[in-house]
Amino acid sequence: MTEQPRDFLADTPERWPVTATATPFTGKKTSVRADDVTMPDGGTARRDFQVHPGSVAVLALDDRDRVVVIEQYRHPVGHKLWEIPAGLLDVPGENPLHAAQRELYEEAHVKAEDWRVLADVYPSPGGSDEAVRIFLAREVSEAEGERFAVFAEEADMRQERVPLPELVRGVLAGRLHNTCLSVAVLALHAARGLDGLDALRPADAPWPARPFAP
């Protein structure tokens, strides 16, 4: 078997021809699109998927190697899930770092001085075009001023700081299921064993899935 160059292992942008498209549902933040896509064999297949503005998530790590996590009710799966602070990109072209800083303040009343990109993921590429940028935030401290007013399911959220190894074990044991939390804690654990956290991408690294202004 011929050894491939190291850089071959990268996802490649590509769009197959669409012969017809419709939007059968439009919601407050997302919609559903139905595309008739031309397959490589010349046939056509219908692909229904959620159109999503994109999201950011933050693994905030304190000086005791604890991660800020929140417990939130998620109605579609019928669970309260332990998660890291996260939220939508509310404005097209919004700078993801600014959105992440906002979410960390609103959901955890925390700020951070050091920011890196931990991972970029498509959580469900077979059924949604959602793209998520996950940040690592260090040198954390309590935010100034009053806490952000919460409502609806956010009013019931619980916040904790949990040692990173406990979260890694929780994911591997099948006790923790949130995508962003799982990817973030495993990526952080892996990064420490590879080139170290200072080798992570800068917070303003390009993000082709959701291009943004500086």
Question: Which residues does the annotation mark as catalytic?
Answer: 154
Helix (H, G, I), strand (E, B) or coil at 97: helix
Cα angle 6, 134, 16 (rounded to 5 degrees) comes to 60
CA 179 and chain centroid, separation: 8
Q: Which two tokens stand for residue 47?
A: 């692909």
Buried b (16+ CB within 10 A) or exposed e, 147-156: eeeeeeeeee
Distance CA 25, CA 22 (A): 9
Reported as type and span, the H/E element at residue 138 is: strand 132-142
